Structure 1
Amino acid sequence: MVALRSLITAAALACMSALYAENTSTAIFDESFRTLTVQIEGDRLAPPVLTLNSSDRLIIGFDRLSDERDYLRYTIRHCNADWTPSQLVDAEVFDGFNYADVTEYAFSRATTVHYVHYTIVLPDSEFRFRLSGNYLLQVYDESDPDEILLQQRFMVCENAVGVGGTATSRTDVDYNDSHQQLELQLDTRGYPVRDPFNDLTLVVEQNYYPASRRVITHPTRMQGDRLLYEHQPQLVFPASNEYRRMETVSVQFPSMGVDHVEYNAPYYNHYLNVDTPRFSRNYSYDSTQHGRFFVREYNSDNSDTEADYTIVHFTLDQPEIPGAAVYLEGDFTHRTCDSNSQVPYNPSTGRYERAMLLKQGAYNYRYVAVPPKFPVEGDKYQTVNEYSVAVYYRAPGERYDRLLGYSLIFSGR
């Protein structure tokens, strides 16, 4: 119950912040843009975290449903640990100009839906980051710089402190039941912190889901150069369940999770197998991408431009949940609960149903009820979850939050 209340509180605070603060979440604001992806070059499973002063490169891709190339530009903003824009000026943050044209593009080939695929690579030969921290890339049309078309979060890390830890189902609220608990250790030998009880902030998320975000401001105790975070209520999480999987890699035959494929001009349609709630089922392991999706057309050497857009039909066989809305959660919905990810209830069929235009690929997804009155997926202590831990540091007098460390901790491994 403690963890559940924390989750509800975090979600409520996130909603309030969205009402009164600038939106700095990863998002697409123009519906003609689709399939926003980000990855570290050479490692598509890595989170979008660059190492400062390294050879790391970030690859950001997206499509616009169009027959013509658009003249787009991008800018980058430095943000605080809570993703509010920092007060630093560009000259403090970047070497080079903090804007550039999007020059790398390619037209789709042999697809029923025509689109242009754009790519941005950071940093490049004319630009580099001087500071660690949170960053927000924003794309706009060169003729209208005030209208942001899409934006993507990423981070730059110093890796000055070591971050370790474990995730266990033997928690302070239950034992091998419905929760998981983290215990964390920071090794500060590489960067001694003068006042770790006031100058350090840890931000922890489960599977990059914003509503799961926990902010830890004090270690439990110190042990030499090690900071220990133990038995902290904020580090107890509902265990959730493995992501569901589906693949739309072919328009000729049904792949994983697909019942059948139809062509209803002008789109191919993938009708997924009907989903049912899993809260009352026993846990079943399934290989997971922890909510990610990968663009793929099974017969293509270049899926970025040869994968088609199809209408994917999701169905959840679940009676209406009074006072709650149901959403699809995963990278393809930017892990946000809004109108773009909501699954409406259809009273004529007695099911939740949603059709989405998605690029062919392999997708992870889960159903989320908000508020969480009904556990559609259930909470299984055996679930393999990916916990991200970001360590921010702001010394007295500093004007920005440095990202000193970043690590991933997996449960069930």
Structure 2
Amino acid sequence: MPLRLKQLLLFLAFLFGTVSSFFSQSFSENSADANHIRTIQLYGDSEFAGIPIIKLGTPFKITFDDINGDEADYYYRITHHNFDWTPSVLYKNEFLDGFDEIRIVNYENSFNTLQLYSHYTLNIPNEDTRRLKVSGNYKIEIYDDDDEVVFSRKFIVYENRSTVKVYIKRSRDFNFINTKQSVQFEIDSPNEILRNPNRTVKTLVMQNNDIKNSITNLTPQFTIANKLVYKYDQESAFWGGNEFLFFDSKDIRASNAGIGRIELQDIYHNYLHRNVVRANRKYTYNPDINGNFVVRNIDADNSDVESDYSWVHFALECYEPLEGGEIHLYGNFNNYALDESTKLDYDEESGLFYTKKLFKQGFYNYKYVLLRPDGTIDPGFISGNFDETENEYTVIPYYRAPTERYDRAIGKGIGNSTNITN
């Protein structure tokens, strides 16, 4: 075979292999976080609970720890997606100014901790990735030298092209008036006509920025000039849930809120006070941060690298029949994922459900949910559902004009159930 033809065939094989790999990774859901990757956080103007929602042009950063502590090399890849999280048809240079697939060079090792780890920080924009050009859904993947994705995160970039007003209402169905919260909203686009909105406008409605518990199938009920009105009841209703539980390990050697006792073994072990089922009790106001967490060490100058890790032990008293289901921890500490590390096991001797999980020092929200055999999550089985619960609701409208090739996120609206009305 002539040398030039052989080189051409090798180049085509590499090119199509790369394209195939790109699309197979893009179509996949968020990959499970590698076990040695911990405390993943994404920041913009503030920390985000759940999926980050960032205004177009706003700088943001992502941080994480590698508890192997071996200063491994990690790289990042950014992809653009449609409303339904399938890959968009945009080329890389249409949504990204600069380059990705670049090594993360900003990292440092932990200091004065029993658990060794390397702390990584990625800032965007940077000298390689200058800016994101368009709004919409994005995914960032962090991968290692073997091109294995160690974790990925979705985020949404929006532009201010519309005004979204959000109202929280009690359910009009008397069966759910004390347990559900309905989200009603209006989308006003004074500077752009949203043509054929039943087909071109889509909406994402989330409770506490938990995209796994979102409503996406709503169409406008009627229009007033350029205003789209959504006044649904059950179609846009969420279970009220209950306030998140919490613990505070800012001083890892002393008992704080939620922590009953502490032991020092290889590293510190924090044993939380026993929790009970709240579904059969009256609602009690207990301020939370809607499932989020904050890393902090009161004795540190830099909590990012001076906060230690500890094993946190959870105990739950539950005598309700599970009917084949599993009880799991739930919160933004692991992106609301349910896996073996969040599952509670039953101990026959004590009659309690137990689990332990590794957490970096800080303030954490969590709750218990029931994972049913059919894969659905019952958030109120342990915690209960109350219309008084404080929840934050976010509405993101998307618009794809007849001539456009991608779904633009054209605004953001926020409502809180503290202002709930009938």
Give the counterpart letter for 2:354 in structure 1. Answer: E
CA displacement 1:364-403 (0-9 Å, x = unmatched) = 0111112339721000110000112111112235332111
Residue in 2 aligned with 1:140? 143
Residue in 2 aligned with 1:4? none
Q: Mean alpha-carbon deviation: is it higher for 305-314 or for 373-382?
A: 373-382
Quote the offset at 1:293 in angstroms: 0.5
Give the counterpart letter for 2:416 in structure 1. Answer: F
Give the counterpart letter for 1:29 in structure 2. Answer: D
Give the counterpart letter for 1:203 in structure 2. Answer: L
Supply the distance in 1 between the matched residues of 2:154 and 2:379 (Cα, whole angstroms): 30
Quote the offset at 1:74 in angstroms: 0.7
Residue in 1 aligned with 2:160? 159
Give the alignment of 1:13-412 within 5 angstroms: 22-25=27-30, 28-41=32-45, 43-44=46-47, 48-52=52-56, 54=57, 56-126=58-128, 127-141=130-144, 143-145=145-147, 147-174=148-175, 176-264=177-265, 266-319=266-319, 321-371=322-372, 372=378, 375-412=381-418
CA displacement 1:96-120 (0-9 Å, x = unmatched) = 1122220111110000000010001
Supply the distance in 2 between the matched residues of 1:182 and 1:251 (Cα, whole angstroms): 40
Residue in 1 aligned with 2:20? none
CA displacement 1:206-239 (0-9 Å, x = unmatched) = 1233442111341111112211100243211111
Residue in 1 aligned with 2:8? none
Supply the distance in 1 between the matched residues of 2:176 and 2:69 (Cα, whole angstroms): 57
Quote the offset at 1:176 in angstroms: 4.5
Give the counterpart letter for 2:230 in structure 1. Answer: Y
Consecutive unaligned residues in structure 1, runs of 5 or more: 1-19
Give the counterpart letter for 2:37 in structure 1. Answer: F
Report if aligned partners of 2:279, 2:385 keep a CA contact under 8 Å in 1. yes
Q: Secondary structure at the match of 2:76?
A: strand
Percent of aligned positions that are identical: 30
Give the counterpart letter for 2:199 in structure 1. Answer: N
Quote the offset at 1:338 in angstroms: 2.6
Supply the distance in 2 between the matched residues of 1:406 and 1:123 (Cα, whole angstroms): 22
Supply the distance in 1 between the matched residues of 2:233 and 2:27 (Cα, whole angstroms): 31
Give the counterpart letter for 2:334 in structure 1. Answer: T
Residue in 2 aligned with 1:12? none
Quote the offset at 1:344 in angstroms: 2.3
CA displacement 1:47-102 (0-9 Å, x = unmatched) = 622222x3x21121000013321121111011111222223220211111122220
Report if aligned partners of 2:38, 2:67 keep a CA contact under 8 Å in 1. yes
Residue in 2 aligned with 1:17? none
Report if aligned partners of 2:166, 2:395 keep a CA contact under 8 Å in 1. no
Q: Secondary structure at the match of 1:182?
A: strand
Mark the structure with the bigger radius of gyration: 2
Supply the distance in 1 between the matched residues of 2:65 and 2:133 (Cα, whole angstroms): 30
Quote the offset at 1:349 in angstroms: 2.4
Aligned alpha-carbon RMSD (Å)? 2.0
Q: Secondary structure at the match of 2:382?
A: coil
Give the counterpart letter for 1:396 in structure 2. Answer: P
Supply the distance in 2 between the matched residues of 1:342 and 1:406 (Cα, whole angstroms): 34
Give the counterpart letter for 1:348 in structure 2. Answer: E
Residues 397 and 342 of structure 1: is their aligned pair in 2 closer, same or farther, counting only changes over 3 Å?
farther
Give the counterpart letter for 1:390 in structure 2. Answer: I
Residues 314 and 373 of structure 1: is their aligned pair in 2 closer, same or farther, counting only changes over 3 Å?
closer
Supply the distance in 1 between the matched residues of 2:47 and 2:191 (Cα, whole angstroms): 29
Report if aligned partners of 1:167, 1:180 keep a CA contact under 8 Å in 2. yes
Q: Secondary structure at the match of 1:412?
A: helix
CA displacement 1:149-189 (0-9 Å, x = unmatched) = 11121111112111111112243454741111111010111
Supply the distance in 1 between the matched residues of 2:248 and 2:171 (Cα, whole angstroms): 35
Report if aligned partners of 1:367, 1:377 keep a CA contact under 8 Å in 2. yes
Q: Secondary structure at the match of 2:94?
A: helix
Q: Secondary structure at the match of 2:333?
A: helix
The alignment of Structure 1 onto Structure 2 pairs a total of residues equal to: 387
CA displacement 1:297-331 (0-9 Å, x = unmatched) = 12112111000010000111113522211111111
Give the counterpart letter for 1:183 in structure 2. Answer: Q
- TM-score for both structures, normalised by structure 2: 0.87
Supply the distance in 1 between the matched residues of 2:122 and 2:81 (Cα, whole angstroms): 20
Give the counterpart letter for 1:238 in structure 2. Answer: W
Consecutive unaligned residues in structure 2, runs of 5 or more: 1-24, 373-377
Supply the distance in 1 between the matched residues of 2:359 and 2:323 (Cα, whole angstroms): 29
Give the counterpart letter for 1:57 in structure 2. Answer: P
Residues 374 and 94 of structure 1: is their aligned pair in 2 closer, same or farther, counting only changes over 3 Å?
closer
